[in-house]
Amino acid sequence: MALPITIVIPSYGRGSLLARFLPTYLAQDCAEIVIVDDASPASIEMEVRGQVRVEHGRTRIVFVRNEKREQQPHSRMIGAHRASQPLIFFGEDDAYLEPGLVFSLWRYVVAAECDMCCGPWIPTLDVDSHERPSETAATAEDLVDTTLIDFRGPKQPTRPIRVPFLHSLALMRRDDVLNIGFDSGYIGNAFREETDFYVRATAAGRRLAFVPAPAAYHYKGPLNVGGGQHGAHTLHELTRYEWYVARNNVRFLRKNRAALELMGRRTRPAMDTCLYMLRRILGFPGRYRRHLRAAERAMRE
């Protein structure tokens, strides 16, 4: 019997990339996959059907196309409302999964060891990497940085470890998604929309955990240069993207001030965001300076 899980994958402008990675979602043997096309210029369904045989065993695939661009948070909620299963695993159109990942997460949720969980998430430039985490994690501090509200790199937990927030490729109950909800106020690149959801889930008493599991891979290579929340690699689009990072980060810190203080994280939204943006400019994560230099070279030429 297929797992009683709906995989929800929002997508914008990455139909070809999603088609490349969709077989790794089909291989999870879940009952349903809901793909939400956020009004892409080219139909995601047509691109996927043109490259992948979507009739796959016990997995039902549902395509939903928004009439206008709704952005990532609202598209997640559209997918959750269309889901027919009691559990939801959120996927990404630029991510792929190792076999058995969702089943591993499902075992921890049905055993009531946690309410929401994820496994290792590994950034890669390769569309077919099977790199394993090089380090293990034994404590929450090994996995998450509550000062920067970020992750400490791909690590394999030695056991289920409670944390205040997860990455985006996680399993949870549909009712929790509908009751807690993703906030559509995170606009533009929707930066912090996932962390906002998880912090509010933690504040509502849900138990979040990183668990031992096969890996998910976040592809950041040359085939992923457009679509999603990113525009063209131009100085204008880069500046616009980083402005939304700052804007949404301030919103997140202001909105979740009380919950973050319970984690021991005192917030100064404006000052903290200025420092955060400075870290990005100086190479945290480094993408900013590389693209800025490339744009400047192109302008001089």
Pairing of strands 155-157, 161-162: unpaired
What is the Cα gyration radius of the chain? Answer: 19
Q: Which fold has domain 3-219?
A: Spore Coat Polysaccharide Biosynthesis Protein SpsA; Chain A (3.90.550)
Rounded Cα distance, 157 and 113, in Å: 14
Nearest to residue 286, comparing CAs of 228, 194, 220? 220
- Per residue in 29-80, pLDDT (tens digit) is 999 999 999 999 999 999 999 988 776 678 999 999 999 999 999 999 999 9
Domain ranges of the chain: 3-219, 235-300
Strands (E), the chain: 3-11, 30-37, 60-65, 87-90, 95-97, 116-118, 121-124, 135-137, 144-145, 150-151, 155-157, 161-162, 171-173, 208-210, 216-219
Residues 6+ apart with CB under 8 A from 46: 15
Query: Average pLDDT over the chain, rounded to whole?
Result: 91
* For residue 289, pLDDT beyond 50: no
Q: What is the pLDDT of residue 187?
A: 94
Under 8 Å between Cβ of 227 and 14: yes
pTM: 0.91
Q: For a pLDDT cut of 70, what percent of the chain falls above it?
A: 90
Nearest to residue 227, comparing CAs of 66, 72, 26, 51? 72
Choose between 286 and 192: higher pLDDT: 192
Angle at CA of residue 192, ends 153 and 150, nearest 5°: 20
